[in-house]
Amino acid sequence: MSTKAVLEYKLKGERNNRPRRPLQFSDKVFVIFVYNKKGFIESRIQCLDVNDFALIWEYTHPHVINNLVLTENGSLLASCMNGEVLNFDIHNGTIIWSFKTPRGNIGPVSNEVNFKAVFSGVQGNQATWCLDTTKGEELWCISNNGHSYHPYVYGNKILNTIGNDINCLDLNSGRTLWKVSELQTYLFNPKVVDNLAVAPGHGLINFYDLENGKLLTSIQTGQPTNSSESGIREIIADENSIYFGDAEGIFYSYSLPDAENSYCTRLQWKIETKGGIESIPAFFDSSILMINNGNQFLRIDKSNGNIQQEFKTKGEALISGVTVDKDAVFYSCSGGIVVKCIM
């Protein structure tokens, strides 16, 4: 199998440049660059033409931009660490609306459902907000107990992990539906998989009943739950399996919990890569595409873990990732580099 790098874009002139995962929509690619600037941090959103990577528009922000979300009405949401959420016209970068929390330090904005999106405080900002994404108006705000990871919205429920806790909230009111603690480890970015709430941590992944928060089963990778090297940040799943990597550089495939057999799971395969895995992988046909902090791009057969392709990237993945659109693959890595490949 061959891969052809057809385009490469590099943001020049900035130091310690750490881009986020590219977001591709229609004829555009959007990417966040976060870099050092005058003793602090600055970020830049750049909108590139998908065919030639020509710059269409850009926006510079005097702090960290956490992530981008494409809305249901075709605009772009950006969560900024200093407490701002911005909504952009994707065609020209005009700010349609902006929202500012009373104090800074917020994390990523969730996916959008029914024109609502959610974000929470980090680093001492102990609150969660829900916004109307058509107007940028606050629908509700509730207190929470600390540093939040990336919230996830599924139907009328929000999953939000804060410290050792996973919280399930009502999307319309912010009311807590259930809350469960995992004493062994912090919990990171949650998802809903096969109608179960799933939360990764250090050396484990927990599966909860989405309706009541009952812990149904847990994947234990064998890595210590008190080690930062065992941290599992991102998970992806298909109809049969869940896939994830850890900071040790090991990438795993486990079967999904079997409800007819006491929700048991089993290890299907695991491989060792040459660098820690923090980034977001993606499915491509019957494969998984991932990048790591060892400057590797890997195409992995999801049925058996065999590496089908491997090539060297020009930087670490960090918390970036891979985006797929038909036969085109986009990824970004440290140094401010964005690449388009044809598989």
pLDDT, one tens digit per residue, over 294-318 is 999 999 999 999 999 999 999 999 9
- What single string gives the DSSP state of each residue in 44-63? EEEEEETTT--EEEEEEESS
Mean pLDDT of all residues in 21-34: 97
Q: What is the pLDDT of residue 117?
A: 98
Q: What is the pLDDT of residue 146?
A: 87
Q: What is the pLDDT of residue 103?
A: 84
Q: Please calculate the CA angle 135-137-140 and round it to the nearest 5 degrees.
A: 145
Give the global pTM: 0.96
- For the stretch 265-270, contacts whose Cβ atoms lie closer than 8 Å and that sit 24 or more positions apart, written own/partner, are 265/207, 265/217, 265/219, 268/241, 268/305, 269/304, 269/305, 270/305
Mean pLDDT of all residues in 107-131: 96
pLDDT digits (tens, 9 = 90+) for 78-100: 999 999 999 999 999 999 999 99
Q: What is the pLDDT of residue 188?
A: 97
